[in-house]
Structure 1
Amino acid sequence: MIDLSHIDVTFHQKKRTIEAVKDVSLQINKGDIYGIVGYSGAGKSTLVRVVNLLQEPSRGTITIDKQVIYDNKVKLSGSQLRQQRRDIGMIFQHFNLMSQMTAEQNVAFALKHSGLSKAEKKEKVARLLDLVGLSDRAQNYPSQLSGGQKQRVAIARALANDPKILISDESTSALDPKTTKQILALLKELNEKLGLTIVLITHEMQIVKDIANRVAVMQNGHLIEEGSVLDIFTNPKEELTQDFIKTATGIDEALAKIKQQSIIKDLSANSRLVLLKYAGNSTDEPLLNGIYKRFNVETNILYGNIEILDNVPVGEMIVVLSGEKDKVEAACAAIEEMDVQITVLKEGQKA
């Protein structure tokens, strides 16, 4: 487990002081895929560099697997720090491969001080390249590899010393959407197969949504919201978190297009445009069919989406409800009683 308690990171420059991380506390459990989300300058990369002490905090306590590795009294020696860092692998946005070395040599370089024999190193490198699906590219140089293949080499290299923790610092930002999904699937597979704890740093909530089980949102050095991916996506409290989620789900883009439709521009007096959000068992209910039967309220589905977050189905729809005013009111109340969040986006107006 990673426990960061009251972490501050302050940089002092000639004419100003920069508080990059301000009193951040969080816990990452063994086996988590933990996403830390924020825009550039939020402090997320600085915070994560504290985990392996690439960045020494100005204040706070760092505990890994119940061992304090840094506080106002404890500071690791050089050899202790090197050993601690062996337990933490890192992958980066731009791969950081050595261009003059083959894929095999790039991975082997991480084993330089491992104490393994030449034969043992060769066997381990081959096993790692096979693990990331690159056995047939062992003799290729980075210039002969695609972006996704380069990142796979970087992942194999990060795993060379059998780390317990893997830190991914915007590792998919330079990749196209298809390749990004492939790399995320690989990280998820490694998490399950090796029991790796993975910490994802990203500015895209979509990345977190795809594979993480917990998420923290940072803004201006502060941790503003933290929880399970399911809780954060179904009940975001902070405005920034809500913005991230709207972008990740595509609901804002869909709503902008829907509002351009004539049916919405000229919404009739007996109609109401609503957003429905639901999770778990609510997704299995024939909701709209039941509303029509009970209240004679018709529904026109303009947008719908359902996905699985942390093994729980979560969905949202944008719907026009039409019927007698009191019936529409009753239908909305009934929907809420079924553990479905309902937000009225627009009321029909009389001509």
Structure 2
Amino acid sequence: MSHEMIRLNHIVISFRQKKQIIEAVKDVTVHINQGDIYGIVGYSGAGKSTLVRAINLLQKPSAGTVTVDGDLLFADGEIQLSAAELREKRRDIGMIFQHFNLMARMTARENVAFALKHSKLTKAERHAKVDRLLDLVGLSDRADNYPAQLSGGQKQRVAIARALANDPKILISDEATSALDPKTTKQILKLLQELNQTLGLTIVLITHEMQIVKDIANRVAVMQNGHLVEEGSVLDIFSNPKEELTRDFINTATGTQEALAKIEQQDIVVNLPQNAMLVQLEYAGSSTDEPILNDIYKHYDVSANILYANIDILDDTPVGELIVVLTGTESRLEQAKNALTASGVTVKILKGGA
């Protein structure tokens, strides 16, 4: 049974800047379970990185409590551990960043070994561990290369191996794929997913892209201007977003916005017939097993012209959306709409309809 790995309760983080107080994080509570891949999404300046830096107290909160793996790290405005205890605790928390932060004059092997310089391992044990880590991230053949000789994805693999050197329980990824191309991003995300599964690593992903969350996370928090605006399982948030900001992020991730812009220019939509309406259908889970559009044609004589479709599997559950033109008499369209809603499909009329 997984336990709670990270508890951030009522975290406030404020800075003094030119005689005024800036509140970067405003009363945010986040609980992350052991083994979660937890995505924190928001635009630049939302407070994501500042909040996450409170986990290892690289950023000291102004108020709130921080508990990691059952140990209270921060409460009543004070760090609750001695300097040595905090150092020890920080070893449980690895970090990777957008710009890799590798040392240019060290080989891949030396970069990873550097993270072990305070460990109690013998030289031979250290060497074996570095080899094992490079193997784990698929970089054994590049051990003696310098960062300048490595691609972006390879550098990030070295950075991941280095972050894992002290056998952390938590890995924090701060926009770690935003400097990488889409194909490399997918490979790095797949690696993170494998590390999560094989090592039971709890991963906290900071990102401005919902696509990344959609690919590997199981829970997500959305931040805006220092506030937590929405939080839940990826399945819940994607199939039932409550906030406009969350919907924006999701529409970008699923490509719906781009599709809609093109659809609106299509002749069938520009000159939408009198007896037709353009609708967006969204569904999750079992409703995808039924031939719904087939049924409304059979029962209500309403035909459906599919202009766009997208299906994702989130947490083993199919989640999909369609943009279709439904055509039929006014009363039949109303019946079909009610039948769709009754079968668990969210129907949003984009154009036409009574």
TM-score, normalised by the number of residues in structure 2:
0.97
What is aligned with 1:120? 125
Q: Partners in 2 of 1:271 and 1:222 — Cα distance?
A: 42
What is aligned with 1:255? 260
- SS of the aligned residue for 2:277 comes to strand
Q: Partners in 2 of 1:340 and 1:229 — Cα distance?
A: 18
Root-mean-square deviation over aligned CA pairs: 1.0
Q: Partners in 2 of 1:42 and 1:13 — Cα distance?
A: 17
Contact 1:272 1:347 in 2 (8 A): yes
What is aligned with 1:311? 316
133-142 or 70-79: which moved more? 70-79
What is aligned with 1:282? 287
Which aligned pairs between 1:63-74 and structure 2 lie closer than 5 A? 63-72=67-76
Contact 1:102 1:141 in 2 (8 A): yes
Which aligned pairs between 1:149-228 and structure 2 lie closer than 5 A? 149-228=154-233
Q: Would you say 1:35 and 2:39 are equivalent positions?
A: yes
Contact 1:132 1:153 in 2 (8 A): yes
Q: Would you say 1:25 and 2:45 are equivalent positions?
A: no
Q: Partners in 1 of 2:330 and 2:45 — Cα distance?
A: 49
Q: Would you say 1:242 and 2:242 are equivalent positions?
A: no
- SS of the aligned residue for 1:115 comes to coil
Contact 2:72 2:80 in 1 (8 A): no
Shift of 1:262: 0.6
Q: Partners in 2 of 1:314 and 1:195 — Cα distance?
A: 27
Shift of 1:17: 1.1
Instruction: Read off the aligned partner of 2:88 and give its amino acid letter.
Output: Q
Shift of 1:16: 1.6
206-215 or 66-75: which moved more? 66-75
Q: Partners in 2 of 1:25 and 1:112 — Cα distance?
A: 35
Contact 1:148 1:179 in 2 (8 A): yes
136, 148, 152: which one aligns with 1:143: 148
Q: Partners in 1 of 2:61 and 2:254 — Cα distance?
A: 35
Contact 1:267 1:348 in 2 (8 A): no
- SS of the aligned residue for 1:10 comes to strand
TM-score, normalised by the number of residues in structure 1:
0.98
Shift of 1:29: 0.4
Instruction: Read off the aligned partner of 2:23 and give its amino acid letter.
Output: E
Shift of 1:311: 1.2
Shift of 1:325: 1.3
Q: Partners in 2 of 1:75 and 1:307 — Cα distance?
A: 44
Q: Partners in 2 of 1:231 and 1:306 — Cα distance?
A: 15
Which aligned pairs between 1:34-53 and structure 2 lie closer than 5 A? 34-53=38-57
Q: Would you say 1:61 and 2:52 are equivalent positions?
A: no
- SS of the aligned residue for 1:184 comes to helix
Q: Partners in 2 of 1:257 and 1:108 — Cα distance?
A: 52
Which aligned pairs between 1:315-330 and structure 2 lie closer than 5 A? 315-330=320-335
Q: Partners in 1 of 2:245 and 2:79 — Cα distance?
A: 36
Q: Partners in 2 of 1:31 and 1:348 — Cα distance?
A: 47
Q: How much identity, in percent, do the aligned residues show?
A: 71
Deviation track 1:161-187 (CA, whole Å, cap 9, x = no partner) reads 000000000000000000000000000
Shift of 1:252: 1.0
Q: Partners in 1 of 2:17 and 2:151 — Cα distance?
A: 40
Shift of 1:14: 2.9
Deviation track 1:201-222 (CA, whole Å, cap 9, x = no partner) reads 0011111111000000111111
Contact 2:39 2:205 in 1 (8 A): yes
Q: Partners in 2 of 1:79 and 1:143 — Cα distance?
A: 35
Shift of 1:348: 6.0
Shift of 1:75: 2.3
- SS of the aligned residue for 2:100 comes to coil
Cα distance change on mapping 1:74 and 1:90 into 2, 3 Å? closer
Shift of 1:13: 2.3
Instruction: Read off the aligned partner of 1:53 and give its amino acid letter.
Output: L
Q: Partners in 1 of 2:259 and 2:7 — Cα distance?
A: 39
Shift of 1:74: 5.0
- SS of the aligned residue for 1:50 comes to coil
